[in-house]
Amino acid sequence: MDFFKLIDQLSEVDADVMGRFDSRRAVFSSLGTAAKRTALAATPLFLGAIFQKAYAGTTSTPVEVLQYALTLELFEQDFYAKVKASSQYAGASATDKAAIDQIKGHEDAHVALLRGAITGLGGTPVAAAPFKAAVFATLTTFNGPVYGTSQLGIAQLLEDTGVRAYKGRAGELLGTALLTTALQIHSVEARHASKIRQMRGQKPWVNPGDDAVLHPTYTSGVTGPTSTTTPFGYGIPAYTTASPTENNTTQSGVAITTALGATYTTADAAASFDEYLQAAEVLDASRAGGLVGA
């Protein structure tokens, strides 16, 4: 990456770009030769620290963002481990079992990668984020028609939440090599969500006709405390304005149905875009936060 060319490009659209870097300007001027400055700027952690300060808009560190991602992955990993150990899974079809086995394997790989990344940055990975055993016991079917009592129904909610959760914090990794890592996981979580939805007989994308469309996972805002700390020991950005709902039909100020004509329905417009969730919304008791525990 040509860091100095990037700075020039940013300056064209942000006249205060150097001011955003505040005291870090002195770092470049004190390093001596352009070669030394370029070598240092090419270091992912150094580059990430600069951009996080300049553009992230939060006080979170890359380690805290990765800890958040690890919490979600550990949560899903434990959920699928419980599914595989259940009598409901034992009675599922070979095709469905193979799909769950593959998804569980992906979650194991995600956990291993995130733990390694956090350790490499000098952090101590989150130890565990178990799916509540008491809640799991209420999931009486593997793939029943009621999502709240079905293992795959809850899997759909978890996977859809994970997709929105990664999107909600990707911007905090802007300018770091870790953004690529997060997006690699995010895309696989989206594939998981699509697969689970198809297994349940739902459309592979979020749409107003889903049986779970009114669940808080697909809406905005939180119903409980909006603390900036969590039981996992890392900070999260303070909750401010509610995230868009999944039935949103306006993107970046563009009314999608109007732009594409009357034949493009509001359902089509809503399904064409996934929305993000803030950490406080994901970890709220009305969503994933209410399912984490021994």
> Residue 224 maps to which CATH number?
1.20.1260.10
Does residue 49 lie in a domain region?
Answer: no
Res 148 pLDDT > 90: yes
Co-location of 186 and 286 in the same domain: yes
> In this structure, what are the phi and psi dihedrals at residue 54, rounded to the nearest 5 degrees?
-75, -40
**Interacting residues of 214 by C-beta distance below 8 A, sequence separation 6+:** none
Query: What does R_g of the chain's alpha carbons equal in angstroms?
Result: 21
* 101/9 same-domain check: no
Say what percent of the chain tops pLDDT 90.
57
Q: Are 124 and 118 in contact (CB under 8 A)?
A: yes
Residue type, 206: V
Q: Please indicate, yes or no, whether residues 135 and 29 belong to a single structural domain of this protein.
A: no
Residues 19 and 123 in one domain: no
Q: Is pLDDT of 56 > 60?
A: no
- Would you state the torsion angle of the CA atoms of residues 280, 189, 151, 116, taken in this order, to the nearest 10 degrees? -80
Residue with tokens 């990664």, as numbered in its chain: 166
* Statement to judge: residues 36 and 95 lie in one domain: no
Q: How many domains does the chain have?
A: 2
H or E segment and range at residue 195: helix 177-199
* Percent of the chain whose predicted confidence (pLDDT) is above 70: 77
> What local confidence, expressed as pLDDT, does residue 261 receive?
85
pLDDT over 90 at 126, yes or no: yes
Is there a domain that residue 53 lies in? Answer: no
Kindly state whether residues 181 and 85 are assigned to the same domain: yes
Q: What is the pLDDT of residue 17?
A: 42
Asked whether residue 148 falls in the same domain as residue 263, the answer is yes
Residues 142 and 232 in one domain: yes
**pLDDT computed for residue 208 by the predictor:** 83
User: DSSP state, 95?
Assistant: H
Position 267 in a domain: yes
Task: Please identify which residue in the block is written with the tokens 């996981």.
Answer: 185
Task: Verify that 37 and 103 share a domain, yes or no.
Answer: no
For residue 172, what is the DSSP state? G
The larger pLDDT score, comparing residue 33 to residue 128, is at 128
Residue 44 has pLDDT above 50, yes or no: no
Q: Is residue 55 part of a domain?
A: no
Report pTM.
0.79
> pLDDT tens digits for 165-197?
999 999 888 888 889 989 999 999 999 999 999
Give the amino acid at 99.
A
pLDDT tens by residue, 226-282 = 555 667 888 888 787 889 999 999 999 999 999 998 789 999 999 999 999 999 889
pLDDT over 80 (residue 90): yes
Q: Give the least confident one: 89-103, 104-118, 220-234.
A: 220-234
Tell me which of 110 and 221 has the higher pLDDT. Answer: 110
- Of 144, 132, 273, nearest to 211 by C-alpha is 144
Question: What is the mean predicted confidence (pLDDT) over 66-88?
Answer: 97
Band (pLDDT 50/70/90 cuts) for residue 133 is very high
- Return the closest-CA partner of residue 282 out of 62, 65, 61: 65
Which among 4-18, 137-151, 167-181, 212-226 has the top mean pLDDT? Answer: 137-151
Q: How confident is the model at residue 72 (pLDDT cuts 50, 70, 90)?
A: very high
The answer on pLDDT for 125 being more than 90 is yes
Average pLDDT, the chain: 82
Nearest to 139 by CA among 73, 206, 82, 197: 82
57 located within any domain: no
Residue 264 lies in a domain: yes
Confidence of residue 10 (pLDDT cuts 50, 70, 90): very low
* Cα separations in angstroms, 201 against 81, 145, 273: 23, 9, 21
8 falls within a domain: yes
- Domain presence at residue 148: yes
Distance CA 293, CA 75 (A): 9
pLDDT of residue 12: 45
Q: Are 145 and 232 found together in one domain?
A: yes
Q: Which residue pairs from 123-126 have beta carbons closer than 8 angstroms and sit at least 24 positions apart in sequence? A: 123/63, 123/66, 123/67, 125/67, 125/70, 126/67, 126/70, 126/71, 126/74, 126/232, 126/233, 126/234
Structural domain harbouring 256: 62-291
Structural tokens at position 102: 């593959």
Question: Residue 186 is inside which H or E element, if any?
Answer: helix 177-199
Residues 75 and 130 in one domain: yes
